[in-house]
Copies of this chain bind each other. A is one copy, B any other.
Amino acid sequence: MEKMKIIFLGTGCSNPTKDRNLSSIAIRFNGEWFLFDCAEGTQRQMIKAKVSYMKIQNIFISHFHADHVLGLPGLFATMALHGRDFPVKVFGPKGVKDLIDKSLNLIGLKPNFEIKCVEAKNGVILKGNGFEVSSFPLKHEVPTRGYVFREEGKAGKFSREKALKLEIPEGPLWSKLQKGESVKIGKKSFAPEQVMDYSKGRKGKTIAVVMDTVVSENYLEEISGADILIHESSFTEKMKSRAIETKHSMVKDVAKLAERAEVGKLYLTHISPRHKENEKMENEARMVFAKSYAAKDFMEIEL
C-alpha cells in the first residue's frame, strides 16, 4: 500500500502572503484525500499540489473564521462543474450546516451531489477502511474542534496456541484480538499483545491537527503519542499579548505541549504574516522540543 502523506496547502493566518496561503492541510490515505480546513485559494493550491478534487470524501473544519473556510464555496462550485455526483461530508463545530448553506447561497449553487454536514462531537466521528478520525474541543474565540486521524494497526501474527492456552474461545473474541483490540472474559481482560506477535506488523500512524486555540492540557490525552502533531503557532514569545488577546498559541507553549504529549514530530503552522524567518520560529520551539519544524506551503510529509 502507498504511504500516508500530508501536504500543507496553506500555512499562513489572517491574510495570505506571497509565500503562504491560508489554512488548509490535505492527508492522503489509501487513495483518498482528507481535507482539514479550506481557506480562500485552497482549490488552486490543490491543483498545484496535485490533490484531486474528486478524491475528497471528507472535509474537517476547525472553526468558521474567514481564514479557514472561504475556499468552500469555490471548491463546491468546481466539484459541481466537474460533474461530481457522489456525496462529500463536511465535519465541523455546531453550525456547520448553516455555514455550508450560506456558502452555497452566496453564489446560488445547487450542486448535483449531496453535502452531508456533521457536527463533530467528542470521540470517534468517522470510521473507514483502515482508519478513524476523532474530534475534541479547543479553546478559541469561537467554537473550534481539533481532529486526530488514526490509521489502523497492521495485523501481526496471531498465535492460536497462545489463545487456547489462555482459554480464550475461538470466534469473535479472536478476531477482536487480531484487530488489536482488548477483550474481556468475565473479569479477566486480555490484551492483543498476549496472543499477537507484532514483530512483523506495525502500529498504525496517527496525525493530530490542532487549530486555532490557546494551548491547553485539556487535549493532551487526545494528541498523546501522535506520530505527527500539526499545531497552530501564530505567534512567538515577542507577540505574547497579541496571542492572549486573540486566543492563539505561542510557539514555545506548543513545543512544551508536544514534549509532554510525546509526539514524534511537531509541525508549526498557521503562521503570522509577521514571521519572516522560519528558522527563528524553529529555534524557539527546538529549545524545548527538538523535532519541531515550521511548515511551508506545499511541504510534503510521508509516513
A residues neighboring B (CB under 8 Å) = 14-18, 21, 40-41, 43-44, 47-48, 64-67, 69-71, 73-74, 77-78, 81-82, 99, 102-103, 105-109
CA–CA, A82 to B43, complex, Å?
25
Contact for A41 among B18, B44, B65, CB less than 8 A: B44
Contact for A16 among B14, B47, B67, CB less than 8 A: B47
- CB <8 Å contact, A107 and B70: yes
Contact for A107 among B41, B64, B82, B108, CB less than 8 A: B64
CA–CA, A15 to B105, complex, Å?
19
Given A15-B81, A40-B40, 9 further pairs, Cβ under 8 A: A16-B43, A17-B47, A40-B41, A40-B70, A65-B107, A70-B70, A70-B106, A102-B102, A106-B106
B contact residues around A41 at 8 Å (CB): 40-41, 44
CA–CA, A223 to B69, complex, Å?
39
B contact residues around A14 at 8 Å (CB): 78, 81
Contact for A40 among B43, B64, B109, CB less than 8 A: B43
- CB <8 Å contact, B70 and A66: no
CA–CA, A194 to B40, complex, Å?
52
Contact for A102 among B43, B66, B81, B106, CB less than 8 A: B106
Contact for A109 among B47, B66, B73, B82, CB less than 8 A: B66
13 residue pairs bridging A and B, Cβ less than 8 Å apart: A14-B78, A15-B77, A21-B44, A40-B44, A40-B70, A40-B73, A40-B74, A64-B107, A65-B107, A66-B73, A66-B77, A70-B107, A73-B106
- CB <8 Å contact, A43 and B15: yes
- CB <8 Å contact, A74 and B81: no
Q: A73-B66, A74-B66, A106-B102 are in contact. Are A16 and B40 (CB under 8 A)?
A: no
CA–CA, A47 to B73, complex, Å?
22
Closest to A17 in B: B47
Contact for A15 among B16, B65, B78, CB less than 8 A: B78
Closest to A12 in B: B44
B contact residues around A108 at 8 Å (CB): 64
Closest to A76 in B: B66
Ranked 4 nearest A-B pairs via Cβ:
A41-B41, A16-B44, A66-B77, A66-B107
